[in-house]
Structures are given as C-alpha cells and as structure tokens.
Amino acid sequence: MGIKVRTQSKKVDKAWLNQHVNDPYVRLAQKEGYRARAAYKLKEIDESLGLVQPGQAIVDLGSSPGAWSQYLRRRLGTDPVTGQVRGQIIALDLLPMEPVDGVLFIQGDFREADVLAQLEGALQGRGMSRLDLVVSDMAPNLSGIASADAARITDLVELAVDFAARHLRPQGALVVKLFHGAAYGPLVDLFRQTFRTVRTIKPKASRDKSSETFLVGMGLK
C-alpha cells in the first residue's frame, strides 16, 4: 500500500510540476520579476475596473509572498523629483515576506486585535487616515469539510469588509478572494449591503480547476 501511495503521489507531484512549469503566467511572472503568477489576477481586475491610481493609500491583506504588493508598487510609480513612491502601501500577512521597495510590511495574524491595532497605528503614522483601496488575497487552509471551510472563508472576508468599512474613503474599493461554496451567496449579500457597486471577476490567471473568484466592492453605502 505504501508503495502505491508514494507512486501515486509522485505522479501527482510530477503532473502539478509539469503544469506549473508550462503555465504561461508562471513564465510571464519570471520574465517580469513577479514573485507569483497571482500578480496577473490583480492586474486583470485593476485593468477592468481602474482601481489603482498614483497617489493612493492602499492596504494589501494576506500579502505574502508579495506579488500583489509588487504590482501595486509598480502601478503607483515613483516621483521623479523626490524618488519616493507616489502613494502609500502597507502589506500584512501571517507569513514572512521578503521586502518590497516602498512597501511597509507588518507580520501578524489579521484576526488578532493587537495586529489590527498595529496596522491601524501604521496607517496613522503614515498619515493614511482614509484608504483608497484594500486588497485581500487572504485564504484559509481548507480542510475539505464544507461547513468548516465555509466558516473559515466567511471569517476572513467579514474581517476584510469590516476593516474596509472603517477605513476606506467613501469612494474607496475592496477586492477579496473567495471560493464558490456555502459561503459564497451570503458574502455576496454582505458586499451588496456594504457597497454601492459590486462586481464578481474570475481572472484568466485563475486556474480553470480552481473555485476561487474575486469580489470587488466600490463606493461605501
């Protein structure tokens, strides 16, 4: 039995590796210096809705390994006179993240009050009293138990919505990742209760087999 399991595992690993190596977005990320193919998911959402503009104040939740922060940093650009970022970006994740030039990173669990307080303190310290954009690529470790996974997904998205509702400008926007399943409908309803405009986007860079999609809320009610 053990040999069969290992053989099957090797086949699965080899199939995944083959798909990964031949993935056009993986190749493009390597070529353009992004840490992960996920950058192109945010890029497509941004290009579709025009969310990111120079001069904005942005928070990136669930930022590691940093591909979204890299994309945001490139989109904000650099002031030719001062050499500073044309805007502000704060990134947060439970996992460590290699530094991204011009991005302040905070390591911690977004669900813990002291980490949220640290993030809010950083916002104040950088004069970011109101945010233009919050993006969240946060995702729980899925167990395969539908009810438990739905609860975990709901918890993270509700936290992101609550944070955005308290910190966004009236015209600001929130982007979150979620998965089709029991949590999907209620979370779309939550977005509709919170934002004037709600869009669902499945970027081309999302793998076909993945149930992930992205919810975008624009303009607080």
Q: Which residues are known to be catalytic?
A: 177
Burial 61-88 (b: 16+ CB within 10 A, else e): bbbbbbbbbbbbbbbbeeeeeeeebbbb
The DSSP letter of residue 220 is: E
For residue 188, count CB atoms less than 10 angstroms from its CB and return exposed for 0-12, middle for 13-18, buried for 19 or more: middle
Residue 90 region by backbone torsions, left for phi larger than 0, else alpha for psi between -120 and 50, else beta? beta
Tell me if 172 sits within 8 A of 134, measured CB to CB.
yes
Residues in the chain: 221
- Residue closest to 140 by CA, chosen among 176, 97, 190, 191: 176
Distance CA 99, CA 105 (A): 7
- Tell me phi and psi for residue 160, to 5 degrees: -65, -40
